[in-house]
Amino acid sequence: MLPNLRLIRVSKAEIDLLEHWKEGVSLVSAAGKSIDDLCLDVAVHRWKLGLLHKRDGNKLMQLQAPPYRSAISRYYYSMYHCFRAAAFISHRGDNHESHSNLPKHLPVDFPSVAFWQNELKMARLTRNDADYDPYPRTNAPWQNKAKAIQLNAINAVLETRNYLRSKGCTGI
């Protein structure tokens, strides 16, 4: 039997809250896992998406004439998804997924957080230039930017993997 304080909470709950509770019970029942464990799984899946984007960026960089603009985009998205997974675990939800807000909300306990906040922000700006600006029109000027973001993506994948593991994520 629930204590009176818990029953009072149910009796005063608005419809949206009651529906959220029902959904939570359904999720736990269907998954056979707690919400906390489901959150760890979701963070791992997002991190693996980041890893996939890094691998795609690497494939692009190995082509005879690498499409540097496209590689920049893949490396940025690699960093974005890896850091979004870390922020999700740190903040207990996906409240900071917007591209411009995510760098400001990296976990405070993430190693070299100020460095990574800046690098993620700069990677986003470079990706925006590569995706939207017609200039420079030739491919060569994008090479150094692609190589710099490639190195950051490689390191971000490693650093976020270590961070997520330290928070209980397994399978990465």
Where do the structural domains in the chain lie, given as residue ranges? 1-32, 34-166
pLDDT score, position 2 = 79
Q: 3-state class of 120 per DSSP?
A: helix
CA angle 34, 78, 119 (to 5 degrees): 110
**Spans of the chain, pLDDT less than 70:** none
- Give the whole-angstrom CA distance, residue 91 versus residue 68: 34
Query: Which residue, among 78, 73, 49, 75, has the nearest Cα to 150 in the 3D structure?
Result: 75
CA angle 97, 103, 108 (to 5 degrees): 105
Please check whether residue 54 is in contact with residue 75, taking contact to mean a CB–CB distance below 8 angstroms.
yes
Q: 137 is written with which tokens?
A: 């029109």
pLDDT score, position 70 = 98
CB atoms within 10 A of CB 28: 14
- Give the whole-angstrom CA distance, residue 50 versus residue 118: 18
pLDDT score, position 1 = 83
Please check whether residue 24 is in contact with residue 141, taking contact to mean a CB–CB distance below 8 angstroms.
no
CATH class entry, domain 34-166: mainly alpha
pLDDT score, position 92 = 93
